[in-house]
Amino acid sequence: MKFAPLDISTFSEINATFASAEDAESHSTILLAAFDGHASNSHGQRSFRHIEALMAGNMVAIEPDAVILDFTNLKYEWGDEMAGLLFYCSNHPIETGLKIPVAVVTSKLNRDGLTSLVRDEMLLSPDDWLFADLDAAVSYIQCRLALPHDTK
């Protein structure tokens, strides 16, 4: 058996940066993940898997209580695999069954596609997922973190 080297950075042309912060009120850890590139279902394109792999490593490393996905510079028009990515990020990486809040910052590069995905495919309210800027996403996450645990 011959093993080939694995380098997840070659999965797609997606680029990512990660940061974390502690919310002063709830003392919760928030993971901010910013992506750029083109998320697509095109054959041979593994952009959704690439984003998920990057998220997995960072989520396990810091065990966030909430996630903000900054897709401001990510082109996305369609692709149901994005729903899987959003659901993946809404699950705590260690505590099985624990849901965590997720907010997605959108832009003209992806707002229509993400709105359609959340509303028509995920059957959820875009107002609970999609935000026009980082400040709005942070405010939403802070409000969610302030709720009693069983209502999140």
In DSSP notation, 93-120 reads SSSTT-B--EEEE--TTTHHHHHHIIII
Query: Cα 72–31–64 angle (5° rounding)?
Result: 150
Position 149 pLDDT exceeds 60: no
Give one DSSP letter per residue of 32-81, joined into a string.
EEEEEEE----TT--HHHHHHHHHHHHHHHH--SEEEEEEEEEE----TH
- CATH code, residues 12-151: 3.30.750.24
Question: In whole angstroms, how far apart are CA 124 and each of 42, 87, 92, 120, 121?
Answer: 25, 12, 20, 8, 8
Closest CA to 130 of 110, 150, 100: 110
pLDDT one-digit tens code per residue, 86-105: 999 999 999 999 999 999 99
Q: Where are the domains of the chain?
A: 12-151
* CA atoms of 112 and 107, how far apart (whole Å): 9
pLDDT one-digit tens code per residue, 45-77: 688 889 999 999 999 999 999 999 999 999 998
Q: Which of 6-10, 60-64, 109-113 is predicted with the least confidence, judged by mean pLDDT?
A: 6-10
* Cα-trace Rg, the chain: 15
User: How far apart are the two ends of the chain, measured CA to CA in Å?
Assistant: 48
> 7 falls in which pLDDT band (50, 70, 90)?
confident
